[in-house]
Amino acid sequence: MKNLIFFVILIYSISQTWAQTQRIDTSKVKTMKLIKSKQEFKEHFKDSDSYLVLQPPVLFPQTHVLISPPKNFKPVDNIRGFIHLATTTSITCTEIKGYHYTQLCEQLTSEYIASQNAVLNETEDVVLDNGSQGKLFTISFTIPAKDSLHKDTPFERVMLFTGDMENTIWLNATYPQSVKRFVSKIVRKSLLSVKPEKQN
CA distances from 66 to 22, 24, 86 (A): 25, 21, 24
The model carries a pTM of 0.81
Please indicate, yes or no, if residue 192 is contained in any of the structural domains. yes
Please indicate, yes or no, if residue 47 is contained in any of the structural domains. no
Mean pLDDT of the chain, nearest integer? 80
> Alpha-carbon distance 108 to 6, whole Å?
10
Please indicate, yes or no, if residue 154 is contained in any of the structural domains. yes
pLDDT at residue 173 in the model: 95
pLDDT at residue 36 in the model: 66
Q: What is the CATH number of the domain that holds 125?
A: 3.40.1000.10
* Tens digits of residue pLDDT in 145-158: 777 777 888 999 99
Helical ranges in 46-109 per DSSP H: 101-105
Please indicate, yes or no, if residue 80 is contained in any of the structural domains. yes
Q: How many domains does the chain have?
A: 1
Query: How many CB atoms are located within 10 Å of the residue 119 CB?
Result: 14
Most confidently predicted of 22-31, 142-151, 159-168: 159-168
Please indicate, yes or no, if residue 45 is contained in any of the structural domains. no
Give the rounded distance of the alpha carbon of 182 from its chain centre: 15
Please indicate, yes or no, if residue 50 is contained in any of the structural domains. no
Which residue segment(s) compose the domain that 150 sits in? 2-23+55-199
Please indicate, yes or no, if residue 148 is contained in any of the structural domains. yes
Please indicate, yes or no, if residue 183 is contained in any of the structural domains. yes
Closest among 188, 154, 149 to 68, alpha carbons compared: 188
